[in-house]
Amino acid sequence: MLEGVLSNSEAIGLQSPRAESCFVAWCSPAMRAIESMLADIGQSDVPVLLTGETGVGKKSIARRIHQLSSRRNLPVMTVRCSGLSAEEINALLSEDAEAAAKPGVLTTVILDEVSELSPACQMWLVHNAWPDGGSANGSRARLTLISTTCHNLDEEKRVGRFADELYYRLSGVCFHLPPLRHRREDIPLLADFFVARYANLFGRSITTLSRDGIRMLTERDWPANIRELETVIRWILAVGDEKAALGALGGTEPARPRPGNGEAPSLKQVAKEASRQAERELILKVLAETRWNRKRAAQKLQISYKALLYKLKEAGLGDSAS
């Protein structure tokens, strides 16, 4: 019954301690500064709040904190907060959940999109999650809570959607992860990370992207951030042809009149290309959000499944994208 409130990426809510996290040796000053503090944070039981846009890697950083902690060999529970009831969170963070986590002891809980907790769940956490210096429901297991959100909790507090007391309990340490467009120097490292992952998955011999491919990726704004970049790399490895995949992706900007001897495109042409580019990026973002579940993506886009397949084929991806 509780599987629906657990993260889709976790097996029955529990992640193997050896599960892969998205970790690279960051180049950007902002991420290097965050990484330098994670080991110290991991050695404590202080609750951590991770904020940032959708897809910036908040859950990966949460798992990184766990991997750098003394609890690294124990399982992790990731709880999707949207639609969660007080009864469900009570069952999840109880001795029953601890027993289900055998042979390890449940010690780290990632509250995914904590801003979406109902008022009842917020109050349950305030009154039950810290009765014994960090243990839940009076159990012997100490729980370290790592919360993520893409919303501004100060604003959520101001309008009364998020409890002040819970905010201060969850934000023992707060990190804001900058969007990918503000740390473009990390893009080549992330691209290599995902190339290696999907080359192995798809049995490709590609080990890195071309210089032009990396340049093209680095110049994009990535509205869905790392999640979107991963989806694009997966496309490239699925197709097995970098040039064709990136050609279908399109340029970093909508078409614009360029100086030169050729005739400038008409306003109608520019508007059409801009519309196609916006549509392509929206489809990409929704596919990333649904973890490439095309039926769910079609529902979110409010188009038919057949129409989505046609648009994917039109973009040059077709069945290979599956």
Domain parsing of the chain, residue ranges = 2-178, 184-321
CATH topology of domain 184-321: Helicase, Ruva Protein; domain 3 (1.10.8)
What value, to the nearest 5°, has the Cα angle with vertex 253 and ends 196 and 232? Answer: 20
d(CA 199, CA 205): 7
Residue 301, pLDDT > 80, answer yes
Strand partners, 31: none
Which residues have a Cβ under 8 Å from the Cβ of 2 and sit 6 or more positions away?
A: 13, 88, 91, 92
CATH topology of domain 2-178: Rossmann fold (3.40.50)
Across 265-278, average pLDDT? 61
DSSP H or E stretch at residue 190: helix 187-202
| 251: alpha, beta or left? (left if phi > 0; alpha if psi -120 to 50) | beta
> What pLDDT sits at residue 18?
38
Whose CA is closest to 74, among 102, 48, 50? 102
Instruction: Give the CA angle between residues 205, 222, 209 to the nearest 5°.
Output: 20
Strand, coil or helix: 78: strand
Name the band, by pLDDT with cuts 50, 70 and 90, for residue 258.
very low
Instruction: Give the number of other Cβ atoms within 10 Å of residue 18's Cβ.
Output: 8
**pLDDT digit string (tens) for 30-46?**
999 999 899 889 888 88
Mean per-residue pLDDT, 84-113: 73
Verdict on whether the full-model pTM lies above 0.85: no
Express each pLDDT in 181-233 by its tens digit: 999 999 999 999 999 999 998 888 888 999 999 999 999 999 899 999 998 99
Number of Cβ within 10 Å of residue 43's Cβ equals 13
